[in-house]
Amino acid sequence: MIALCCWLAAAQARAEPAFVTIEGDLKTIAWWVLANFHPFTTEVRGIPAREIRKSWCKATEFRKDLIPRELLFEGGTDAMAAANMSFAVEGRFDGTAAKQVALVGVFEECSGQKGRFILILNQPAQGKPKIRFVNALRTDHQFGALQKGDDDSIVAWTCMECDNFSVLKWDRKKRKFDWQAAPVEQ
């Protein structure tokens, strides 16, 4: 019996932490502000983390099934769906026939630093996706969500109930994805 207890304790110590941990009071601050994400995979959609960025050891795409339901469905409503936000959006963002997916997630460098990333991948009918765009930001606040803009743009959010967003769009002249200037308020 003692041996079994010791084995269970050792197994628990080796277990990975939950993908999302909350540090703070959910009654006063939104979960996505308090969330700390713990990447645990070494690839994103079949692409090794080190192929995305050489300094990365782990990278995990945000997915609803990785986040506790009580956080995503506060009060019984899917707040992300209500705001038309997602962790991944599909489209033909560069105007070509190639189907693409834009997604957000969290990375961890081999040095231990963490941050948020946005990837745009070409999705071929067969074979591994091809990286078209990578944006990575070291940050203690890793939450991110996306919306598909009306003009084939990608709207990147760092929260769910704020005005903190950026717009990413294919620039035909530069032949690359580029961040758009924020609209000027009159």
pLDDT tens digit string along 121-144? 998 888 889 999 999 999 999 999
Position 49, amino acid: A
The total of other beta-carbon atoms located within 10 Å of residue 66's CB is 16
pLDDT tens digit string along 66-86? 999 999 887 788 989 988 999
Tell me the whole-structure pTM to 2 decimals. 0.86
Question: Cα(186)–Cα(183) distance, rounded to whole angstroms?
Answer: 9
Selection from 160, 65, 148 nearest residue 101 by Cα: 148
Position 150 confidence tier, pLDDT thresholds 50, 70, 90: confident
pLDDT tens digit string along 107-125? 999 999 999 999 999 988 8
* Res. 8: pLDDT tops 80: no
CB-based contacts of 22: which residues, under 8 Å, 6+ apart? 31, 34, 35, 36, 71
**Using an 8 Å Cβ cutoff, are 156 and 146 in contact?**
yes
Q: What is the pLDDT of residue 113?
A: 97
Q: What number is the average pLDDT over the span 18-43?
A: 94
Tell me the helices (H) and strands (E) count for the chain, helix number first. Answer: 5, 13
Selection from 90, 73, 68 nearest residue 147 by Cα: 90
